[in-house]
Chain A
Amino acid sequence: MTTRIVAWAPSAALAAMLLAPYLAALRLRPATLRPHPPWRTAAWVCGATLAAAAVSPVVTALAHNDHRAHMAQHLVLGMYAPVALVAGVPLALALGSTPAHVGRRMSHVLRSRLARCATHPVTGAVLSVGALFALYLTPLYALSHAHPALGWAVLVHFLLAGYLFAWSIAGADPAPHRPAFATRLAVLVVAAGAHAYLAKTLFARATEDGGLHHGSLAEAARWMYYGGDGAEILLATLLFAAWYRQRDPVRGMAARAGVSHP
């Protein structure tokens, strides 16, 4: 019984860490503000559930023996959960529900040069897609299987880097100095292209010697390729949806006047 509780601890902790502050902010939201869009809340809950499921003992046990399960875990933790969480615009919610001085502090931090560099799409792309190259083309992958602590560190890295990348590309929270739309679109295409290239390279390696011993490796590479497509389509949709909203002749004018429509 205790072992079972311990095994589920990471999932429970992750879900609690993501859901509790968000739901608290929802409760604290002043009635004077526009209601937080319900679909955004649904997206956040969905992302938190996906992330918690990806680190559950069921998936981790499978991922240990099967490359496909490992890949599925990565796809969810590094791409799909982050995209859903980003669609939840937690920053916009936090700004509305916290006292003014906290909001000022937050925007001050976001305005800093360090934050600007850290939240640039290129940084996000290097930390998420670049890290995949480091993981799969070096002995790091084998090491992360041998050392549980390193394995966890890799998982946490992909959740955080995935979130940073998704937010830098398609985040709809208020952010000072967001790079131009074209920049974000270009980085998305290059990052997704690099991801597809890596997936095919891994597929090629797995099938080099007939692929008989590496059936699950080749299959995992294929999952990576098509899984990446899905995440790319979702990010592009979020990005263009924001573009579409701000081009609205009616709401666009309000937005340009400084009234935000998250």
Chain B
Amino acid sequence: MTAPAGVVDRRRSRWVGALIGIGVMAAVDEIVFHQMLAWHHFYDRGTPEIALLSDGLLHAAELVVLVAGIFLVADLARRSALSRVGLSSGTLLGAGAFQVFDGVVHHKVLRVHQVRYDVDLLPYDVAWILAGVLLMAAGVLVGRRGRREARIP
């Protein structure tokens, strides 16, 4: 289940990081694009019912995930099992994966909302999904560097 106290648990740290990355990215999306830039709105006319429902569930899950992340990190730290490399690479991977999911599934498949309205969407969609891919790549790189460092005696 969990490693004994005092043993760094990188796998668990990475998973916890991924959770936090997903939650943070979802919250950033909501706060920056919905509230501050108002690019897409609280509700878009013509939103299908199923999209409203998935949106509600995702929103609820995102908040719980953020709270969970805080307590999971606290728990790992208390047992001295927190791997900083695992946590940061996991966070980047989670944030990137969410961004890609949001760009592909939410914007294009379910069409909950678009990134922006009354403009050519292609550059925005590409930027959105590319940003996610870059974040994931960064997560992989951080994880690799951490592995190399760990091998240095």
Contact = CB atoms under 8 A, between A and B. Distances in A.
Contacts of B64: 185, 188-189, 192, 232, 236
B52 A201 contact: yes
B63 interface: yes
Contact of B71 (A188, A195, A222, A243): A243
Nearest to B78: A248
A37 interface: no
Contact of A203 (B43, B57, B68): B43
A204 B47 contact: yes
Please report whether the interface of chain A is mostly helix, strand, loop or mixed according to DSSP: helix
A190 interface: yes
A194 B5 CA distance: 39
A201 B55 CA distance: 12
**In this complex, which of A200, A233, A241 has the most chain B Cβ atoms within 10 angstroms of its Cβ?**
A200
Contacts of B47: 204
B84 interface: no
B38 interface: no
Contacts of B68: 236, 240
B71 A241 contact: yes
A233 B43 contact: no
B88 to A, nearest CB: 22
Contact of B59 (A188, A196, A203, A248): A196
Contact of B67 (A201, A204, A237, A249): A237
Contact of B56 (A197, A236, A240, A248): A197
B74 A229 contact: no
B50 to A, nearest CB: 10
Contacts of A243: 71
B60 interface: yes
Given A222-B42, A241-B71, A244-B71, A229 B5 contact: no
Interface in A176-208: 185, 188-197, 200-201, 203-204, 207
Given A203-B43, A222-B42, A249-B5, A196 B71 contact: no
Interface in B59-76: 59-61, 63-64, 67-68, 70-71, 74-75
B116 interface: no
A190 B57 contact: yes
A192 to B, nearest CB: 4
Interface of B: 5, 42-43, 45, 47, 52-53, 55-61, 63-64, 67-68, 70-71, 74-75, 78-79
Given A195-B60, A237-B67, A247-B75, 5 more contacts: A193-B60, A196-B57, A204-B43, A236-B68, A240-B68
8 contacts: A192-B64, A193-B60, A195-B56, A195-B60, A197-B53, A229-B59, A240-B67, A244-B71
